[in-house]
Structure 1
Amino acid sequence: MDEPQDLTEMEILPQPGAHGFDGARERGRHEMHGPFVLPPGPQGFSFSLYQSTGAALMPGHRLELLDNGAVFDRMLEDIHAARESVHILVYIWRPCDVSDRIIEALVERSRAGVACRVVVDPVGSEELSGDKDFDQKVEKVLCEAGVEVHYYRLLAGKVMGRLLGRTHQKLVIIDGRIAYTGGFGFWKVWEGNGQSPEEWRDTSVRVEGPAAREMQLSFSRYWQESGGGLLPPSTFPEPALVGDSEACFVESSGKLGITDAERMVRMVIAAARERLWIANAYFSPPNEILEQLEEKCRQGVELRILGPGPIHDVKVIRASQRSTYERLLDAGARIYEYQPSMMHAKTMLVDDWLAVVGSTNMDSLSLNKLGEGSLVINDAEFVRKMERCWAKDLRVSKEISLENGGRTNPWRRLARRATQLVGHDR
């Protein structure tokens, strides 16, 4: 028998049962597994990502990594300089100082003749917060100045599928050429530097180049579904090649089966050969991804997980997150919990060249039900900047071991079961 060729050309898949019929194994033959190994390097990864999601790395980008409240200062500079359009799609927008600054900028631009369009999710902006002031303190002011504002999927009837089928994206696009994404919302917790309980730790990215056009397209789809018309051609300028970075935007929406968000996560994990560092606000991945992470550890990849510590906005999800620790620690992962505030970032760092920044949480709800978006980046300098942020974060994080909070218990197992049921339907 011939020996297998280069391992980098193979998928590592579970083997079917050798004897008799095994229902679970038989079903497994017809479901997505891994892949645990991809062709090497950016080109092989890009081709694999394209096959799975339709998005491929493109050259010509200029990128800025923005931590915590710095994203708003940079964003407002761009909004004030807008000539053609400002488009905003956001999950959480609640009255606060950040909101006032954004409103002031949009009102000024709208009165100057710039087309300003806003889509907000009513669950994040009103229903869950219990704050019904968005329509009076934000929407009314914006509309009076000529800004067009729409809600995404009003909760008429509050059917469960509609309640879960939200948009969790965070997009700001200026003139179709500059775009922002990350974990931010327009609320007070995203101000500051992420070093106190009232100021969340988060990561965002500013991008110029072809991916900004993809992000504009994503906004357009939500805009149409929310009652807006077709955007004019001028909002889709030909993308300029402005930098040396490669990037692409992966949009995902909830559906039966495997979403593009989950496909993207699996491909990014599969690309890791030396290290895989994951910072995520709601880390409770489906079992298939958890198994893939364990496999990466067995392959010798350095796996680090950074999640929220005791300051968390959803306690059941923190318990679900901690239910994964024992398996991952046994496999060889290193796990840290951020201590000063709620750690809300959604980033991934692979080897010395690949990074992900966006809105995609690593839990079943985000990966299977919500509208999400992430910028996938090939840029060694950007990765080095993320690495420096990791070093800063770890100085105020607690490493978890099996003897120090890493073992599971009945409450954590129950919490994980509940969070998996909310999002998983295949």
Structure 2
Amino acid sequence: MDAEAAGEDVLDDVVPQPGAHGWDETEGRRHEMKGPFHLPPGPDGFSFVLFQSTGVCLEEGHQVELLENRAVFDRMLEDIRQAKESVHVLVYIWRPSPVSDRLVEALRERVSAGVRCRVVVDPVGSEEVRGDKDFDQKVERRLTECGVEVHYYRPLAGKVLGRILGRTHQKLVIVDGKIGYTGGFGIWKVWDGDGLQPEEWRDTHIRVEGPAVCRMQLEFSRTWQEAGGSLLHPEDLPEPLQRGPVRAGFVASNGKLGMTDAERMVRLVIAAARKRLWIANAYFTPNNAVLEQLVHKAHEGVDVRVLGPGPVHDVPIIRASQRATYQELLKAGVRIWEYQASMMHAKTMLVDDWLSVVGSTNLDALSLNKLAEGSMVVADEAFARKLEQGWEKDLRYSREITLDAGGVTNPWRRLARRMTQLVGQDR
């Protein structure tokens, strides 16, 4: 990244505008991250402000591929079967299922060929909260018997306080340190479909080759070490390769006191929008600062759209909290849809005709404040067009919400929002 190429105007333009929409009206908020930000146009300026906020810039040299629904497993298994050095898997949910069986068999075959295979699973997503031992008895045992090294991330036994919210929600698969996958996937039956049946979730993922895979590998390594794994081999962290023309960066985030990199990334992506901002998110209940940004963008004339889950939802209180945001957004001119065919589980953002985000980051208090998350930020017009095509298809299975049809809030929705926002408060 060439900071000088971005120009001095970048520094001037990124300064918040005092007094806009009450941002500076109270002493307390004078000491918080302000907005709305006015970013310079294009990838260079965005890369500069992303770097100064998260330490990640948009590097050249990537090849990216958008994958929807079960297609991620077909592509992933193809890459795993060709692995020469290592296969690393970090997931929040891994449960017994046909897709699990296929992955276990592929890892078994690679171990027999001398490939190092390592797995980290979050026990909350996979078994502890549900009170069963399906992963332990039906998946972990098979993996360890064939030589895969498996660790749990922050087991809860005897250490519940302080750990129940400090989970890893990341979804990472890295092959040979050169190919990376992220998105909304877990290893379970609900992701092994086409997103058009109630029991088959709608989701979006990305396959990446290029320098950003090194950051994905480093994030796996940090989690692996904390979960009890040893240091990786030098061969597991090869020199970054230039694989294509696309600019991209992987933004990892971990829960902490104060603002996380996940929220910084989200707020800068929103700020970058000049013509279009389309958000598809499984748990859309952002904090007030992000909501104010969305309202501001709509007032500026940006085409702001939100696609969230509809009647098929795995956490009803989150859907109620999501719907509590509708009235204010609709009055500002934001258009909102709810996906009807199944649980809409994607976490994507599309800005103008060039900037896209695909990853694990939800727009709720947990993802933005407490959980470990990761998202790939891509500056590429061709990739943006493919994400747009996915949106157009999804809208055929969605219902638009208006103030006259489902958009007015009520006491239950307001209560649900207050409850879901509490988990994000600093303690």
State the TM bucket, normalised to the shorter chain: over 0.9
For the 8 Å contact 1:311–1:341, the answer to whether it is kept is yes
Q: Could you tell me how far apart the structure 1 residues matched to 2:187 and 2:361 are? A: 17
CA 14–365 in structure 1, closer or farther in 2 if over 3 Å, else same: farther
Instruction: State the shift of 1:383 in Å.
Output: 0.3
Match of 2:144 in 1: 143
- How far off its partner does 1:137 sit? 1.0
Query: What pairs with 1:154-173 in structure 2 (closer than 5 Å)?
Result: 154-173=155-174
* RMSD of aligned Cα (Å): 1.8
Give the equivalent residue in structure 2 for 1:339: 340
Verify the 8 A CA contact 1:167 1:372 in the aligned structure 2: yes
Aligned pairs (5 A) from 1:293-312: 293-312=294-313
Asked if 1 retains the 8 angstrom alpha-carbon contact of 2:18 and 2:24, the reply is: no
More divergent stretch after superposition (34-43 vs 49-58): 34-43
Task: Answer yes or no: is the 8 Å Cα contact 1:307–1:337 preserved in 2.
Answer: yes
1:316 matched to 2:306? The reply is no
Q: Which position in structure 1 is the counterpart of 2:3?
A: none
Counterpart residue number, 1:13: 17
Partner deviation per Cα, 1:124-173 (whole Å, 9 max, x = no partner): 00023443121121111111111100000010224332000000000000
Q: Could you say which residue in structure 1 is the equivalent of 2:236?
A: 235
Q: Provide the rounded CA distance (Å) in 2 between the counterparts of 1:269 and 1:247.
A: 17
**Contact 1:35/1:266 (<8 A) preserved:** no
Provide the rounded CA distance (Å) in 1 between the counterparts of 2:241 and 2:195.
34
Change beyond 3 A, Cα 1:16–1:250 = closer
Q: Deviations over 1:27-63 (max 9, x none)?
A: 1111001243112111000000000000000001001
- Asked if the contact 2:248/2:376 (under 8 Å) is kept, the reply is yes
In structure 2, the partner of 1:68 is 69
SS of the aligned residue for 2:314 comes to: coil
Question: Structure 1: 5+ residue runs without aligned partners?
Answer: none
2:204 aligns to what?
203
Letter of the 1:259 partner, please give it. T
C-alpha contact 1:249 1:373 (8 A) present in aligned 2: yes
The answer (yes or no) to whether the contact 1:254–1:371 under 8 Å persists in 2 is yes
Is 1:100 aligned to 2:104, yes or no?
no
Contact 2:10-2:39 at 8 Å conserved across structures? no
What is residue 423 of structure 1 aligned with on the other side?
424
* Corresponding residue for residue 183 of structure 1: 184
CA distances 1:367-412 after superposition (whole Å, capped 9, x unpaired): 0000000000001000000000000000110000001000000000
**Secondary structure at the residue paired with 1:160?**
coil
**One-letter amino acid matched to 1:273:** R
CA deviation map 1:63-121 (0-9, x unaligned):
11000000000000000000000000000000000100000000110111000000000
Partner Cα separation in structure 2 for residue 277 and residue 242 of structure 1: 28
Deviation digits for residues 325-357 of structure 1 (CA, Å, limit 9, x no counterpart): 001001110000000000000000000000000
Partners of 1:8 and 1:38 within 8 A in 2: no
The aligned residue for residue 366 of structure 2 is 365
Aligned residue pair count: 419
Q: Tell whether the 8 Å contact from 2:63 to 2:243 is kept in structure 1 after alignment.
A: yes
1:409-420 alignment, distance < 5 Å? 409-420=410-421
State TM-score, norm by structure 2. Answer: 0.95
Give 1:9 shift.
1.6
Runs of 4+ residues over 4 Å off in structure 1: 5-8
Does the Cα contact within 8 Å between 1:365 and 1:424 map onto a contact in 2? no
Identity value in percent: 69
1:208-229 CA-to-partner distances (Å, cap 9, x unmatched) read 0001111000000000000001
Give the letter aligned to residue 57 of structure 2. A
The TM-score with structure 1 as length reference comes to: 0.96
